[in-house]
């Protein structure tokens, strides 16, 4: 399926919460983005009583002009007051969204108006306070998941057999089955399936060759892979098959869909703990077990937070007692900085881009109880 944008550039418009720039005609390019301060957006979100639904979806498909389609989506979804983070690339779309309850049907109608997205499965959050996202961000990327693979070297569409929750429970009873968590260390630390292999990796691209090497002598076993919503396993299972693994399976819809099916069908829940999610909630309860520890005191805890020193912003697990004691920070130095006037804090942050510490999440010498 090749998607071509139908966006018309010959119009003038003014919106309150994003900037519209029309470039010279030869560029045929438009950019839209939020222009409201992050703290104001967060405050508005927390004070809002509007009912919202958190959902996610993905689709691998050939997108001819992702830049134009990105703008087309932004215009429509901003009109529907949709918030979230969406990645668009030549290979498809990957979205996590917060949709107003009263616009849910309008959103689905628009989404399904694209033939290749018609009827696509939507993964709905099961532990949702409606406060998952504070703004709409749609980004054009080279890939919708950073996997480090050259898709021209293997058949990425030759993915593993999809399993529903009941099938997953059944196949994992087989002693010939190996369950592999295809998420990063900070995700599996707070929750994972029983007896799953949980590689201690920082990124998905690092994990792919590691898992192939780890299981190289077990290519005849049932390899069952899972992730948050299923998107990583689409590529991972195809990569495993390309590397000679014979019986490769993946949990359809990931942990999110598994939890929904278990709840609706009264099935045994084989997932222990919390499912890490990539929005401001940072996790949703799948079972009552707390399998992780506070990174500062070692007591049972599974609540992720970001260090309140904006110049650090390190992701880590913190219990309520440590959060109060440390003012939400990861160390004494960050606590001292966080208590300074805002202008002085800005001086400390000059030249620092905490958002790029992506490879150091939940790692650091100050986190003495990191498992």
Residue 23 scores a pLDDT above 70: no
Mean pLDDT of all residues in 279-286: 94
59 assigned to some structural domain: yes
The answer to whether the CB of 326 falls within 8 A of the CB of 320 is: no
Residue 30's pLDDT band (cuts 50, 70, 90): very low
- Contact by Cβ (8 Å): 185, 170: no
pLDDT of residue 14: 31
Same domain, yes or no: 98 and 160: no
Query: In percent, how much of the chain has pLDDT > 90?
Result: 78
- Residue 362 region, left (φ>0) first, then alpha (ψ -120 to 50), else beta? left
In a domain, 63, yes or no: yes
Same domain assignment for residues 209 and 312: no
How many domains, in total, are found in the chain? 3
In a domain, 277, yes or no: no
Q: Locate tokens 């480090």: which residue?
A: 148
Task: For residue 160, give the DSSP letter.
Answer: P
pLDDT given at position 207: 96
Q: What is the phi/psi pair of residue 307, to 5°?
A: -50, 130
Domain boundary (213, 248, 272) is at 272
- The sign one gets for the Cα dihedral 311, 317, 323, 325 is negative
Active-site residues, by number, are 227
Q: For residue range 189-209, what is the model confidence (pLDDT) as tens digits?
A: 999 999 999 999 999 999 999
Query: pLDDT digit string (tens) for 332-347?
Result: 999 999 999 988 888 8
Give the domain-ending residue among 140, 167, 184.
Answer: 140
Contact 353, 325 (CB under 8 A): no
259 belongs to a structural domain: yes
For the segment 114-125, what is each residue's pLDDT rounded down to a tens digit? 999 999 999 999
* pLDDT(105) > 50: yes
Tell whether the model's pLDDT for residue 50 goes beyond 50. yes
Q: Is residue 97 part of a domain?
A: yes
Query: What's the whole-number mean pLDDT along residues 176-201?
Result: 97
pLDDT over 70 (residue 319)? yes
Regarding whether 81 and 196 lie in a shared domain, the answer is no
104-112 helix and 66-79 helix, angle to the nearest 10 degrees: 160
Query: Within this chain, do residues 159 and 256 fall inside the same structural domain, yes or no?
Result: yes
Report whether 271 contacts 255 (CB < 8 A).
yes
For residue 176, being part of any structural domain is answered with yes
Find, among 371, 358, 368, the residue nearest to 314 by Cα. 358
- Average pLDDT over the chain, rounded to an integer: 89
Whether 2 has a pLDDT exceeding 80, the answer reads no
pLDDT band at 45 (very low <50, low <70, confident <90, very high): confident
Q: Do 7 and 133 reside in the same domain of the chain? A: yes
On whether both 45 and 114 belong to a single domain, the answer is yes
State the Cα torsion 137-141-146-147 to the nearest 10°.
140
Domain span holding position 310: 304-360
Judge if 131 and 156 occupy the same domain.
Answer: no
Give the pLDDT of residue 371: 58
Residues 260 and 354 in one domain: no
243 with 309, same domain?
A: no
Residues 27 and 89 reside in one and the same domain: yes
Q: Confidence class of residue 44 from pLDDT cuts 50, 70 and 90? A: confident
Q: What tokens were used for 220?
A: 């005849």
Structure tokens at 284: 């949703």
pLDDT tens digits, residue range 347-359? 877 766 655 554 5
Q: Which of 120, 140, 160 is the last residue of a domain?
A: 140
Tell whether 310 is covered by a domain. yes
The pLDDT value given to residue 342: 85
Residue 42 CB partners (closer than 8 Å, separation 6+) = 134
Query: Same domain, yes or no, for 333 and 353?
Result: yes
Across the range 151-165, mean pLDDT stands at 95
- What is the domain-level CATH number for residue 222? 3.40.250.10
Has residue 370 been placed in a domain?
A: no
pLDDT band for position 42 (cuts 50, 70, 90): confident
Per DSSP (E only), the strands in 61-120 are 62-63, 83-89, 92-100
d(CA 37, CA 92): 30
CATH assignment at residue 14: 3.30.70.100
Distance (Å, rounded) from C-alpha 73 to C-alpha 68? Answer: 9
- Rounded CA gap, 187 and 368, in Å? 18
Judgement on whether residues 134 and 161 belong to the same structural domain of the protein: no
């Amino acid at each position: 399926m090749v998607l071509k944008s139908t966006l018309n550039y010959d119009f003038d418009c003014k919106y309150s919460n994003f900037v519209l720039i029309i470039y010279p005609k030869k560029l045929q390019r438009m950019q839209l983005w939020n222009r409201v301060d992050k703290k104001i957006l967060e405050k508005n979100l927390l004070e809002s009583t509007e009912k919202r639904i958190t959902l996610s979806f993905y689709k691998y498909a050939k997108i001819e002009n992702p830049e134009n389609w990105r703008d087309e989506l932004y215009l429509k979804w901003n009109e529907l007051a949709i918030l979230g983070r969406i990645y668009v690339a030549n290979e498809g779309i990957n979205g996590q969204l917060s949709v107003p309850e009263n616009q849910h049907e309008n959103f689905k109608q628009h989404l399904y108006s694209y033939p290749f997205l018609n009827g696509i499965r939507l993964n709905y959050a099961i532990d949702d306070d409606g406060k998952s996202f504070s703004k709409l961000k749609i980004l054009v990327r080279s890939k919708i998941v950073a996997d480090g693979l050259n898709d021209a070297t293997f058949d990425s569409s030759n993915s593993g057999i999809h399993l529903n929750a009941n099938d997953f429970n059944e196949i994992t009873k087989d002693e010939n089955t190996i369950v592999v968590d295809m998420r990063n260390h900070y995700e599996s630390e707070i929750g994972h399936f029983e007896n799953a292999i949980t590689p201690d990796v920082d990124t998905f691209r690092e994990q792919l060759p590691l898992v192939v090497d780890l299981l190289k002598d077990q290519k005849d076993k049932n390899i069952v892979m899972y992730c948050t919503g299923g998107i990583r396993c689409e590529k991972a299972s195809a990569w495993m098959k390309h590397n000679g693994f014979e019986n490769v399976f993946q949990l359809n819809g990931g942990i999110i869909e598994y939890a929904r099916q278990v709840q609706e069908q009264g099935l045994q829940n084989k997932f222990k703990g919390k499912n890490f999610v990539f929005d401001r909630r940072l996790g949703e309860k799948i079972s009552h077990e707390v399998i992780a520890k506070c990174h500062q005191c070692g007591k049972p805890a599974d609540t992720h937070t970001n260090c309140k020193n904006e110049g650090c912003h390190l992701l880590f697990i913190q219990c309520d007692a440590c959060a109060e004691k440390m003012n939400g920070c990861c160390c004494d130095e960050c606590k001292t900085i966080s208590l300074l006037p805002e202008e002085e804090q800005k001086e400390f942050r000059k030249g620092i881009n905490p958002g790029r510490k992506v490879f150091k999440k939940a790692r650091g010498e100050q986190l003495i109880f990191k498992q």
